[in-house]
């Protein structure tokens, strides 16, 4: 296992890091990792990339491809990874990537599944203080990974399991992206008569608006708990909609209670007020 936590302190002996995938998040990762490692990048769509064998043969390999392409990518790099290497992914779901890496990579590499809980939009001002989920899969390297992420990059590390991650992310991430998709389809949205809560909601929409379609598909289709969350959300929304078609709550209250409440509201006094005789 390479001495990962020392990478930022020994520039003349920098560890080699192979980045597989150079999309939006791959470029963000390269920006923050290149000061600490001898970076090699492989992406067929990137003209200046290194070869697959060279990149996969680095001391540390980071898989930054869409989750739907994870299986093919892992199979492609498996023959080239070196004994003692550390392999990580940065996918938005964790159960399936962790399983694929465990089953398809040779037993002589350490494996850590990660999910940076941010993207290019939310990291525009830097990554310090942002969160990353870290799931140990094989070996003991996760401790050194966590130390590097905390000390060198200033990230808040949340150590968890792939299953717990996907259960939580199905709601926290899946529902956020789902609501954002719906709001985008409702545009144009108001920009003048808005409340603070709406402004915050709109900020969340803007953070995920430009995410690639593959990310939304992974979050909603490849998280094993996302369907359950969506069904519950839409069931509750339908029940609420049906309830709103009933008589208003105020009209369903007993007449005497309504009259008492009206008197208190008009008088501005919270003390005991007897209702007028019927």
Is residue 172 exposed (0-12), middle (13-18) or buried (19+ Cβ within 10 Å)?
Answer: exposed
Q: What is the mean pLDDT of residues 184-205?
A: 96
Confidence check: pLDDT of 8 > 80: no
DSSP label of 60: E
Say how far apart CA 226 and CA 119 lie, in whole Å: 20
pLDDT at 248: 74
- For residue 116, what are the CA distances in angstroms to 30, 133, 156? 14, 6, 10
Pairing of strands 60-63, 38-42: unpaired
Confidence check: pLDDT of 162 > 60: yes
Work out the pLDDT band at 115, boundaries 50, 70, 90.
very high
Confidence check: pLDDT of 269 > 80: no
Domains of the chain: residue spans and CATH:
4-160 (3.40.50.720), 170-238 (no CATH)
Contacts of residue 262, Cβ cutoff 8 Å, sequence gap at least 6:
none
DSSP label of 158: E
pLDDT at 267: 46
Q: What is the dihedral of CA 17, 20, 22, 23, to 10 degrees?
A: -130
The percentage of the chain sitting over the pLDDT mark of 70, rounded to a whole number, equals 85
Lowest mean pLDDT among 6-15, 85-94, 228-237: 6-15
Tokens of 275: 């209702």
Q: What is the mean pLDDT of residues 200-209?
A: 92
How is 86-145 classified by DSSP, letter by letter? EEEE--S--HHHHHHHHHHS-TTSEEEEEEES--TTTTTT-STT-EEEEEEEESSTHHHH
Lowest mean pLDDT among 38-47, 62-71, 109-118, 240-249: 240-249
Confidence check: pLDDT of 17 > 70: yes
Cβ atoms of 86 and 2 within 8 Å: the answer is yes
Q: What is the mean pLDDT of residues 148-165?
A: 99
Confidence check: pLDDT of 252 > 80: no
Q: What is the pLDDT of residues 47-62, one digit of tens each?
A: 888 999 999 999 999 9
Q: What angle do CA 44, 210, 163 make, to 5 degrees?
A: 80
Q: What is the pLDDT of residues 46-103, one digit of tens each?
A: 888 899 999 999 999 999 999 999 999 999 999 999 999 999 999 999 999 999 999 9
Contacts of residue 133, Cβ cutoff 8 Å, sequence gap at least 6:
94, 114, 115, 116, 117, 158, 160, 165
Q: What is the mean pLDDT of residues 211-217?
A: 93
Cβ atoms of 34 and 59 within 8 Å: the answer is no
pLDDT at 227: 98
Contacts of residue 45, Cβ cutoff 8 Å, sequence gap at least 6:
22
């Amino acid at each position: 296992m390479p001495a990962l936590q020392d990478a930022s302190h020994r520039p003349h002996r920098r560890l080699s890091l192979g980045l597989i995938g150079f999309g939006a998040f791959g470029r963000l990762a390269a920006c923050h990792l290149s000061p600490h490692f001898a970076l090699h990048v492989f992406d067929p769509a990137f003209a200046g990339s290194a070869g697959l064998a060279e990149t996969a043969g680095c001391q540390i390999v980071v898989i930054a491809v869409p989750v739907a392409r994870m299986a093919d990518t892992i199979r492609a790099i498996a023959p080239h990874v070196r004994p003692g290497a550390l392999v990580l992914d940065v996918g938005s779901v964790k159960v399936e990537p962790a399983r694929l890496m465990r089953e398809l990579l040779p037993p002589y590499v350490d494996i850590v599944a990660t999910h940076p809980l941010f993207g290019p939009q939310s990291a525009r001002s830097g990554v310090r203080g942002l969160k990353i989920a870290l799931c140990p899969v094989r070996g003991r390297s996760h401790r050194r990974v966590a130390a590097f992420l905390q000390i060198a990059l200033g990230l808040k590390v949340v150590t968890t399991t792939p299953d717990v991650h996907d259960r939580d992310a199905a709601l926290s991430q899946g529902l956020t992206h789902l609501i954002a998709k719906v709001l985008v389809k409702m545009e144009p949205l108001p920009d003048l008569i808005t409340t603070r809560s709406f402004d915050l909601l709109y900020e969340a929409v803007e953070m995920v608006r430009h995410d690639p379609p593959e990310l939304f598909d992974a979050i909603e289709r490849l998280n094993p708990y996302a369907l359950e969350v969506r069904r519950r959300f839409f069931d509750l929304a339908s029940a609420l909609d049906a309830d709103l078609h009933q008589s208003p709550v105020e009209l369903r209250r007993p007449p005497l209670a309504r009259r008492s409440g009206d008197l208190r509201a008009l008088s501005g006094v919270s003390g005991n007020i007897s209702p007028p005789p019927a």
